[in-house]
Amino acid sequence: MWNYVLVSALVLLVSLLYHCYFNRPISIIDYPNQHYDYIVVGAGTAGCVVASRLSEISNVSVLLVEAGGYFGWVSSVPILAPMLQKTEVDWAYTMEPQKHSSRGFGNHVQTAPRGKGLGGSGQMNYLVHSFGRPEDYNEWPKGWSHADLLPYFKKVADIMNVMSSPEEEYLTDAFLMADESPNLSNTTLLRGMYTIKSGSRWATFHAYLQNAWNRRNLHILTNALVSKIYLKKDATVDGIKVIYKDGSVGKILAKKEVILCAGVINTPQLLLLSGIGSSEDLDKFQIRTVSNVPEVGKNLFDHLLIPLYVNLKARVSITLVKLQTLPEVLNYFVFGRGWYATNAVMGIGRANNSGVMLFGVGSTEERILKSLSNYKTESYRSFYPSYNNNTREGFLYLSYCLQPKSRGSVSLRSANIRHQPRIDPAYLKHDDDVLCTHEAINFAIETLDTKKFREYGAEVHHPDLEECRHLPQDYRDIEYTECVIRVGGLTSYHLCGSCRMGADDRAVVDEQLRVRGVNGLRIMDASVIPSPISGNPNSVLIAMAERTIDLIINRTID
């Protein structure tokens, strides 16, 4: 994607320094003890927080188990996030063929990248920060309202070094001017917010785990796959089954709790393989039901993004050619500044249930990005007209419905932990999501009616899709918009909800995140989020993980 010729010497230098001066922390172990007080499964966004905070208690022992190893230096460069997909640090999941969407993708299949290694998906995401809207939490169970989480939000905003896009960004300024438009009401337009420190990625791996990994009561076991949760006859957790890198198998006991932080896909898969889930589903794979929890793997949801390419005449966007210039490269590697130090998300807007992100990149690399998304060639070129022009000025509006109603599932493909589960987000299954997304697209278009955008020659590109040519090429036409949405809507990577938290008996976990019908088993990851966040969920997960620790140790926060 990027011209590495210009930076090869710097890359070599960084790599040498990384390997020469990176000292192995004392918490990283090759062989675990026989038992621990707490076992945390998964070192992702939430797992790093949970393990770090638990190990602050000096008289308890904590084991953090992670299926992958370390992320390389590329993950530290914010704008290079896509380069990590389909590598050894990505689970590289694929979704089930979609019935109502994804018609512009090969076999109607989209990819579902998930981080595999210390830091998890927080080491390869786009670092966009959001706590959503207060009303997002209205239906959440007791103790998880916006008011309840507000102290944790403030704490996380400080720890995670939340910052906004640079003041001098031209596209951001033009975007914010739309707040004065008479055609827009009840809108929120903000600079892009992200978690970056000194020009580098700042995830919970850096903010939490690295601060803890020289504690003697914390052990971190890498390249070890947890394949089962052992339960006693009374449905109390006994421990975990681990497959080590060399293929050998071991059992590690938990005295107090096992806390699953394996993620929205791996957590329900592990529960089902351990006999926790719908007995009807488990019977299909001859798995003995230990606890019949019908909703394990259900309630899966995601934001479906519609990429709107906006052509520009002015030289105000990020292009591949600009990124490949020596001054831009040196500005980052020497001073930690410039476009490499950003995620290119320059603006975020909300209007009712309509959401939009301004992604300020004008040119894309077809060879890589088409492969990562699984777009068909014709569809990709229709949505991204800069596919063959590295100097083209423009940007993307990523429009989406903030509160989608469609719900899908994560289910077993086989009884083998190494076989990917079935991931079906059921995009656009609910017709209301089409109208909601149509409104989001037109909200994005309305923001272009500003003096600055007119000066820049901003003009929306309408994709020339074979499936939609019989319709007026106008986003104000609901039929055309629906056609475009069903062809090219793209995952936002915000998959959540597969082990829903709730006060009702059907919820997978209760208000304390304890798995129903099982003693000593808790979940803290994106799977427990009961309903969508009106924005990116990563920062919300960090706040939830902080509160989870207070629940475990029965502590209150001021």
What was the pLDDT predicted at 185?
Answer: 77
pLDDT at 555: 60
Say how far apart CA 530 and CA 527 lie, in whole Å.
8
Residue type, 338: G
The model's pLDDT over 202-256, given as tens digits with 9 standing for 90+, comes to: 999 999 999 999 999 999 999 999 999 999 999 999 999 999 999 999 999 999 9
Catalytic annotation, pick one of 129, 219, 303, 494: 494
Q: Are 290 and 524 in contact (CB under 8 A)?
A: no
Inter-residue contact 226 to 260 (CB < 8 Å): no
Under a CB-based contact definition with an 8 Å cutoff, are residues 56 and 214 in contact?
no
Residues 6+ apart with CB under 8 A from 136: 146, 403, 531, 532, 533, 534
Query: Is the domain defined by 28-71+113-160+207-300+403-427+496-558 classed in CATH 3.40.50.2000?
Result: no
Place of tokens 């103790």: 143
Give me Rg for the CA atoms of the chain.
Answer: 23
Helices 478-488 and 432-446: crossing angle in degrees, nearest 10, is 100
Determine the Cα–Cα distance for residues 351 and 81; give it in Å rounded to an integer.
28
- The residues with which 523 forms a beta bridge, in sequence order, are 260
Looking only at the bridges linking them, the beta strands covering 304-311 and 490-491 are: antiparallel
* Residue 494 annotated to the active site: yes
Q: Exposed, middle or buried by CB within 10 Å (0-12, 13-18, 19+), for 557?
A: exposed
Given this model, what pLDDT does residue 186 score? 83
For the chain, give every domain's residue range. 28-71+113-160+207-300+403-427+496-558
At residue 415, what is the residue type?
A
Q: Supply the pLDDT for residue 10.
A: 53
At residue 7, the pLDDT reads 46
Residues 156/159/164/166 CA torsion (nearest 10 deg): 180
Say if residues 510 and 470 touch (Cβ distance below 8 Å). Answer: no
The reply to whether the predicted model has a pTM over 0.85 is yes
- CA-CA distance, 151 to 149, in Å (whole number)? 6
**pLDDT value at residue 167:** 64
Digits of tens for pLDDT over the chain (558 positions)?
444 434 444 544 454 444 444 578 999 999 999 999 999 999 999 999 999 999 999 999 999 999 999 999 999 999 999 999 999 999 999 999 999 999 999 999 999 999 999 999 999 999 999 999 999 999 999 999 999 999 999 999 999 999 998 767 899 999 999 988 767 878 999 999 999 999 999 999 999 999 999 999 999 999 999 999 999 999 999 999 999 999 999 999 999 999 999 999 999 999 999 999 999 999 999 999 999 999 999 999 999 999 999 999 999 999 999 999 999 999 999 999 999 999 999 999 999 999 999 999 998 888 888 999 999 999 999 999 999 899 999 999 999 999 999 999 999 999 999 999 999 999 999 999 999 999 999 999 999 999 999 999 999 999 999 999 999 999 999 999 999 999 999 999 999 999 999 999 999 999 999 999 999 999 999 999 999 999 999 999 999 999 999 999 986 544
pLDDT for position 101: 98
